[in-house]
Structure 1
Amino acid sequence: MSSAEEKIKSSERKCIATGQVLSKTQLVRFVLGPSNKICPDPENKLPGRGIWVKADVSAINKAEKNNLFSRALNQSTECFDNLAATVEDLIAKRIINLISLSRKSGQSICGYEKVKDWLKKDVAEVLIQSSDGSNREKSRLRTPDGGNYIGWLSSSELGKAFGRENITHCALASGGLTQRIVEDAQRLKGLRIVKDQNSCRKDESAK
């Protein structure tokens, strides 16, 4: 096996709910915590044996309902109430924190005119628009060529990243933080039911 193949294999895990072998960026890690509680570990940092589930509401619900965590660990376990919602909340907060860090390092900006300027100058690698923003207003900006789009965070969530009440438009420049945001946003997409289907155009999906 080549070093490249070994690297790919080391970054993949098997989902206990679907049986799929997927990249870690498509999965959520869980570990056994105190009192045999199953604890989500979206940052992949907690000690202990990792149990992996696809970042998808149905997969997590299946793992919880069918006691798949207990089977994987060969012991009795207990899950948080509304486990999928708990995971969704943790990942959303992580994304908000990462966007805030990128803002402080000059890698992200907000506001229609500023975002438009970054897009025009090819500075933006990612366009983020709030899920509850005006579709007409959002359609005035397009995803950068070869870039990514994130459209499943609310205006209040984006606002928290910039210390404001509500934000509709945000852009990210290239960088390590941006890559982490895109990966976490893809996981969040599988966990978050987007009620407004118009918020996802063909050219507007995190890759």
Structure 2
Amino acid sequence: MRNPRNDQVGSDSSGSEPERTCVLSGEAAARDSLVRLAISPDGEVLPDVHARAPGRGAWIGVSRDTLEKALAKGKLKGALARAFKGAPLAIPDDLADRIERALVRALTDRLGLELKAGFLLLGSDRIAEHARSGRVTWLAHAADAGEDGARKLDQAWRVGEEAEGTGLRGLALPLDRATLSVALGRDNVVHLALTDRGAAQRIAAPLQRLLRFQGRAEAAGLEIDNGPAPAAAPATTN
């Protein structure tokens, strides 16, 4: 089946996970793994990471480095002109910065929602207690977390999962403690853990998209719910 290069939001009616095609690479991928671009009322191309803006959209699934090269060589302008059917558009010079900021915001917003729902744990002592008792399904550390503190929590998690001697460890997030602290409204957020597998899956999509855009393809391919594999969950339409 031919994959469209652009779409109207909400145009999917099938129950399967929709795919989109990157306007730069020509490769098709799950919609949730790509970044949608939309045109503002004044014709400016802007990131629409939640894919909610009305009208036609264009999708990209390349790294920031590839995007910036395409922008410098005029390839992005040509690709978007085709995707938006010749509509007048202006591409901001800092489009890559805007996309990365939007992806970071999408991830931190999701973390905030899980915190409000009671699924996100903060604080080394609290995380260690839950980890040792097998109540942690996902563990992560700020980019600037101390090696010693991260190692101790990783060990506590392996104990709780009866996975001693394996390589099970928390993820190194692409966010530092200052960013996490501001986003979550708490002081000195260095380590994070989730107690719900569904929450871990909800974190996966925004985290993977950010990692891919940053060029960390190997990290983005990791299983984000880095505990034992959960049972399959029903598909959603969000």
TM-score (norm 2): 0.71
After superposition, the Cα gap between the structure-2 partners of 1:178 and 1:147, relative to the gap in structure 1 and judged at 3 Å, is: farther
Report deviation, 1:74.
2.8
| Alpha-carbon distance in structure 2 between the residues aligned to 1:44 and 1:108 | 25
CA contact (8 A) 1:38 1:80 kept: yes
CA displacement at 1:33 relative to structure 2: 1.5
Q: CA separation in 2, counterparts of 1:126 and 1:28?
A: 25
Could you say which residue in structure 2 is the equivalent of 1:72? 83
Give the whole-Å Cα distance in 1 for the aligned partners of 2:59 and 2:170. Answer: 26
Query: What's the % identity of the aligned pairs?
Result: 24
Moved more, 160-169 or 84-93: 160-169
Correspondent of 1:43 among 31, 44, 50: 50
Matches within 5 A, 1:93-172: 93-142=105-154, 149-172=171-194
User: Which structure's residues are more often strand, by fraction?
Assistant: 1
Match of 1:54 among 47, 54, 61: 61
- How many residue pairs get aligned? The number is 196
Q: Kindly tell me: are residues 161 and 118 of structure 1, through their superposed partners in 2, closer, same or farther at Cα, counting changes over 3 Å?
A: farther
**Alignment partners' CA distance in 1, 2:143 and 2:124:** 15
User: Which among 88, 101, 105 is matched to residue 100 of structure 2?
Assistant: 88
What SS does the aligned partner of 2:185 have?
A: coil
Deviations 1:12-64 (A, max 9, x none): 11011111111122200111212221121111111111211015213432553
2:41 aligns to what? 34
**Separation (CA, whole Å) in 1 of partners of 2:68 and 2:223:** 24
Q: Flag the 1:129–1:60 CA change in 2: closer, same or farther, 3 A.
A: same
**1:162 is matched by which residue type in structure 2?**
L
Structure 1, unpaired ranges of 5+: 195-199
Q: In the alignment, residue 84 of structure 1 is paired with which amino acid?
A: A
Unpaired runs of at least 5, structure 2: 2-13, 162-167, 226-238
CA change 1:79–1:148 in 2 (3 A) is farther
Residue 88 of structure 1 aligns to which amino acid in structure 2? E
- Give the aligned residue type for 1:73: F
Q: Which amino acid aligns with 1:51?
A: A
Report the Cα distance in structure 1 between the residues aligned to 2:169 and 2:52, rounded to whole angstroms. 29
